[in-house]
Structure 1
C-alpha cells in the first residue's frame, strides 16, 4: 500500500524525466530495434519498427542469447550467449552480418579469473559501458574495442529494491542516464521501475494495473520517450507513455524470454540527383514596323575633267629674232647639274607636275633667252663699230 499511496509522486518523477530531455523530434519518430525471442535452445533474431509495431525475422542464432544492448556510436549490438563451459560469451550482432563470437566475459580482477556472467536477464549500453543484470547484481562491462579491458567487468553493484522485490527482465537507458524497465512486483501488479546504475537502487515510477502478471522483456525507449515492452508468456506488445497511459500494439507468439535493443542508427538517405539545368530562355524576336523614308532624287554629279597635260619644260619655245650676219662665237656651254638620284621616301611622289609650277619655269627660261639675245645683238653692234674705225 505504501507504494500505491506514492503514485502521484512517482508519476510526477516520470513526467520530469520527459521534461528534462525536451520534446522528441516531431518530424520522424520511427525507431528500429533488434529483438531476440527465445523458445528453446536457440534464439531468433528479429527487426522491429516502432511506434507502430512491425516485425521482420532476420534469422536463427546459434545459441540462446539475452542481455542485448546497442551502441549507436559503433553500430553494433552486444549480447550474452549461453551454453559455453567458460561462461557467457560476448556476441556482436548486426542485421546484415552473421553473429561474431568475441570470447567470454572477463572478470575485472586478476585474482578472480572466473566468469561472473552466465545467465543474464537484462542489458543496455550507455557510451562504452554495457550494463548487464544477473540475479541481484548489476555489472558494468567495457565494450570499447580499442580498450585493453574490452569485455572486462569493470564494476558490480548489488541491487537495493525499494517497495519491492521486483522481477526485472529487461531495461533500457533513459535520457537521464538511469535504467528503466517494466517489472513484476510482489503484489502481482507490474510497474515501471527506475534503476540507478551507480548505486543499484530500484524504485517504482508508475504502476500499471492494466498489465497482466507476467515477465516483461524487450524494453526499448523510443524516440517519442515512450517505453515499449513485450510480455514474454502472453506475447502482448505494449506502449507505455511518459504519463503512464497503456496501449496494446500487437501480439506475438509466447516465449520463454525476450530482449531488445535500439533505436538503431539510421542510414542517411541518398542525396537527391541534381536538378537538370534550366532550359535557355527563348525571347521572341521583336518585330519593328518598317519606317517609310521619303526617296530623294539622285543628284547628278558632273564628271571630273580629265587632267590637262602640262607643257614640256625641256626645251624653250623658238624665238622669232633674225639671225645676225656674222654670228659671234657661241658662249661656252654651261654644264647642267646632273640629276639627283631619286631617294626612296615613305610616300611615292606624284608623277603629275603642278600646272602652275610648270608655267612659272617656262617664263623664266624665256626671260633668260631674251637677255642672251640682247647681249648678242649688243655685242655685234659694238664689233661693227670697232671695225669702222
Structure 2
C-alpha cells in the first residue's frame, strides 16, 4: 500500500467516474452543517481535490452515507435504507441535484460499499448470522437482482471496500474480523483471503484511475440568481353594492264566486218622458141626461130632511 496524499478531512461514498476520469466522493469539509454541508468532490491520482459544489438539497446530510458508486453521469449514494441518485453531468440542467430516491430491498440496504457492473450495483453483505454474500441490485428501482452466500466469507462484520475487475472478480475488504482488516478475492462462489493488516475504522474503495489522467473538470459557473417575481398586486377592494330591493309579491287574486248560469234578464226600456201639454178647458156641453133640474132639487131636499132627522134623534138620546 502506497500513500498518495493525506487529506485533512474525510471523504466518503467513493466511486469511480469513467466519464470524468476521477474518483467521486462526498465531504462536509469546511462547510456549515446547517447549510448545504454535502459537497461533491473529484480526486485525481495525486490526491488533488476539485470541489464541484454542494448537493442541491438543503435537507441532505452525509451523516448516514456509507456507500457510493457512479453509473454513467449519475452518482449513487446509500443513505440508510435509501439510495439517492445525484446528477454529476456539468452540462445537465439538474447538475448536482438529487434526481431520484428509492428504498433498497433487503439485504442491499446493509451494504457498506458497492461498485458498478453493467449498469447494476454489486456489494458484499455480512448481515445476519451466516457467512457473507455477494448482492447485486438495480439502482433505478432498489430491487435485489441476485444474492449468493460465500462460505469462506466471514459474517457479522462489514465490508467497507468493494471493487470488481473486467473479468468479474470481486475484491472486498472486511473492516475487522478477529481484530484485523482482511482483503478477499471472490470468484466462482469461492473466497480467498489475500492479505490482512491492522484493523481500520473507516475503509472505502473505488475503481482504478486511468493513466494518463484526462483533463481536469472545472465546475460550471454558478447560475445567476434570478430574483423572485414580485407578488401580484392585491385585488381592489370590492365596491359596496346597494342591496337590490326585495321582490314584491303580486297581490293574491280576488276569488271569484261562480253562480249557476242565469240567462240575462232583459233590461226594461223606459219610455221617453213626454212633455206635459198645457191644460185645456173642455167645453161644457148641454145636459143630455133625462134628469131635469126640478128633480135635482127634490133630491137635495130629501138629503137635508134625512140629515135633520138624524140630528134630532141624537139629541133625544143625549
Q: 1:210 aligns with which of 152, 162, 181?
A: 152
Relative contact order (alpha carbons < 8 A, sep ≥ 6): 1 or 2 greater?
Answer: 1
* Structure 1 segments of 4+ aligned residues over 3 angstroms from their partners: 116-119
Is 1:199 aligned to 2:149, yes or no? Answer: no
CA drift at 1:121: 0.6
Which residue matches 2:261? none
Contact in 2 for aligned 1:191/1:204 (Cα 8 Å): no
Which residue matches 2:131? 189
CA drift at 1:116: 5.1
Matches within 5 A, 1:190-269: 190-202=132-144, 204-213=146-155, 214-233=157-176, 234-241=180-187, 243-267=188-212
Where does the alignment leave 5 or more consecutive residues of structure 1 unmatched?
1-54, 108-112, 269-389
* Cα deviations by residue, 1:33-90 (Å, 9 ceiling, x for unpaired): xxxxxxxxxxxxxxxxxxxxxx211121221221101111211111111464133221
Higher mean displacement: 114-123 or 216-225:
114-123
Matches within 5 A, 1:86-125: 86=35, 87-107=37-57, 113-115=58-60, 117-125=62-70
Is 1:60 aligned to 2:6, yes or no? Answer: yes
Structure 2 distance, partners of 1:252, 1:235, is 5
CA drift at 1:97: 4.7
Structure 1 distance, partners of 2:207, 2:100, is 24
**1:67–1:165 Cα change, 3 Å:** closer
Which residue matches 2:15? 69
Structure 2 distance, partners of 1:149, 1:228, is 33
CA drift at 1:159: 1.0
CA drift at 1:204: 4.9
CA drift at 1:193: 0.6
CA drift at 1:171: 0.3
**1:204–1:254 Cα change, 3 Å:** farther
Structure 2 distance, partners of 1:201, 1:236, is 29
Contact in 2 for aligned 1:106/1:114 (Cα 8 Å): no
**1:221–1:75 Cα change, 3 Å:** same
Which residue matches 1:152? 97
User: Given the two structures, how large is their TM-score scaled by the length of structure 2?
Assistant: 0.60
Contact in 2 for aligned 1:91/1:100 (Cα 8 Å): yes
Structure 1 distance, partners of 2:108, 2:169, is 24
CA drift at 1:166: 5.6
Structure 1 distance, partners of 2:164, 2:108, is 23
Larger of the two Rg values belongs to structure:
2
**1:155–1:256 Cα change, 3 Å:** same
Structure 2 distance, partners of 1:129, 1:212, is 32
Structure 2 distance, partners of 1:95, 1:68, is 14
CA drift at 1:120: 0.9
CA drift at 1:152: 1.1
Count of residues in Structure 1 that have an aligned counterpart in Structure 2: 205
* Cα deviations by residue, 1:83-127 (Å, 9 ceiling, x for unpaired): 6413322121012252122222112xxxxx422544311111011
CA drift at 1:206: 1.4
Contact in 2 for aligned 1:124/1:132 (Cα 8 Å): yes
* Cα deviations by residue, 1:134-163 (Å, 9 ceiling, x for unpaired): 1000011011122232211110001122xx
User: Given the two structures, how large is their TM-score scaled by the length of structure 1?
Assistant: 0.50
Contact in 2 for aligned 1:89/1:104 (Cα 8 Å): yes
Contact in 2 for aligned 1:137/1:159 (Cα 8 Å): yes
Matches within 5 A, 1:1-389: 55-82=1-28, 84=31, 85=33, 86=35, 87-107=37-57, 113-115=58-60, 117-161=62-106, 164=107, 167-175=110-118, 177-202=119-144, 204-213=146-155, 214-233=157-176, 234-241=180-187, 243-267=188-212
Where does the alignment leave 5 or more consecutive residues of structure 2 unmatched?
214-318
